[in-house]
Structure 1
Amino acid sequence: MLSVRNLTKSYRSAQDTVAVLRGVDLTVSPGESVALTGESGSGKSTLLHLIAGLDEADDGEIVLGDITITGLKDAERAALRRDRLGLVFQQFNLIPSLSVADNLAFQSRIAGRHDATWQNELIERLGLSALLKRYPEQLSGGQQQRVAIGRALASKPALLLADEPTGNLDEDTADEVMHLVRDLVARSGCGLLMVTHSERLAAMLDRRVHLHAGLIA
């Protein structure tokens, strides 16, 4: 599903060059859920952004299925995010002017893979049936996160990337959301790579990898 080989990334400041990733190797299999842990500043979010094509690596290779992400042009990376990836971040990033129903269907429709039966299953499993006509500002944080997860999974992505997706939720709600995500990922057959600082949440997933000083420890 996902293969990352010898990935490097540095950032230059006025005084220095900081090596964030120094040769990262990582794989995620179809249907597998992987927790990515590490100290603040260890490069976890940078790695997710590179896999999502939101930034460019200095060297190394990222392969998703049959597509080599490293080397793609901006428009090709945008198409990859639309067609192959689901993204869930701590800030939800719902579209304020769209209802819950339209937010849920947004990515699957622009990807040309809207599946009403699958979306209805997501709505039921995520407990969103009574909220479909509401707008994001009318939802709690936990409800918004459920919508964001549903939107990301509605297009049946090959890989779901999640960066601290439960960071704004209380512990009980976070646990409930993570159980749902794990089950839905297994149900859809996509892979999951999730950044988390929580040992408790990391233990819920199939496997954990730890990023330290720019390398997978």
Structure 2
Amino acid sequence: MLELHQVSKSFTTPQGPLRVLEGVSLALAAGESLALMGESGSGKSTLLHLAAGLDVPDTGEVRLATRVLSSLSEPERAGLRREAVGLVFQQFHLVPSLSVADNLSLQARLAGRHDPAWCDELLARLGLGDMAQRYPEQLSGGQQQRLAIGRALAVRPALLLADEPTGNLDETTADEVLTLLLGLVQASGCALLMVTHSPRVAAPLDRCLTLAHGQLGAIRNAHGASR
């Protein structure tokens, strides 16, 4: 579903080029979940942006299904992202003037893939069924993050990218949101790539990669064994 092959990325700074990723390769299959761990500044978010087609690598290839993202124009990448990629961030990015139900269905409607039955199921599974006509400001932080997850999954993406999705939540709420997220990912059959700095958050996922100094480290499975 997702493949990065020998991907490198640098950014220009007043001190000169800053190499963020160097020769990174990974593959993620449909239905698989992968945690990407690393310290701040290790390149995790940059890798996620490349996987989403929000940016392109200096060298190497990023493939989403059969499409090489760097061979597409920016509008083509945006169209592919809208139809095939769900994005969940630490900040919720909800539209304050839209109801819970309308926020959840927003991306699916923009992509022309709105399925009312699936949206209703998502609201129920997220525990938001009774809050469909409320507005984001009337929800707790955990409820807003659940809504952001539902919005990303409403389009039935092939790939879900999550950047520290529980970073703003207390530990108990984070555990509840993570359990819901993984359950919904399994129900939808999409692949999941999650950036996190927390070993506890990474533990339930199928695999874990560490990123340091722009390069990938040991691969761990869900039971913590290196391979």
TM tier relative to shorter chain? over 0.9
**Cα deviation digits, residues 80-101 of structure 1 (max 9, x gap):** 1110100000011111111110
Q: Which runs of 4+ in 1 moved over 2 A?
A: none
Q: Which structure's relative contact order is higher, taking Cα pairs within 8 Å and 6+ residues apart?
A: 1
TM-score of the superposed pair, with normalisation by structure 2: 0.93
Q: Tell me, what secondary structure is at the counterpart of 2:71? A: coil
Counterpart of 2:124 in structure 1 is: 124
CA distance in 2: counterparts of 1:32 and 1:183, whole angstroms: 12
TM-score of the superposed pair, with normalisation by structure 1: 0.98
Does residue 21 of structure 2 align to residue 46 of structure 1?
A: no
Q: Tell me, what secondary structure is at the counterpart of 2:178? A: helix
CA distance in 1: counterparts of 2:102 and 2:67, whole angstroms: 29
**One-letter amino acid of the counterpart of residue 109, structure 1:** R
Structure 1, unmatched stretches of 5+, are none
CA RMSD of superposed structures (Å): 0.9
Does residue 26 of structure 2 align to residue 26 of structure 1?
A: yes
CA distance in 2: counterparts of 1:70 and 1:202, whole angstroms: 29
Tell me how far 1:198 sits from its aligned partner.
0.8
CA distance in 1: counterparts of 2:70 and 2:142, whole angstroms: 34
Counterpart of 2:68 in structure 1 is: 68
Taking every aligned residue pair, what percent have the same amino acid on both sides?
A: 62
Q: Tell me, what secondary structure is at the counterpart of 2:70? A: coil
Counterpart of 1:141 in structure 2 is: 141
8 Å CA contact 2:56, 2:69 repeated in 1:
no
Counterpart of 2:207 in structure 1 is: 207
- The count of corresponding residues between Structure 1 and Structure 2 is 217
Tell me how far 1:111 sits from its aligned partner.
1.0
Structure 2, unmatched stretches of 5+, are 218-227
CA distance in 1: counterparts of 2:129 and 2:76, whole angstroms: 35
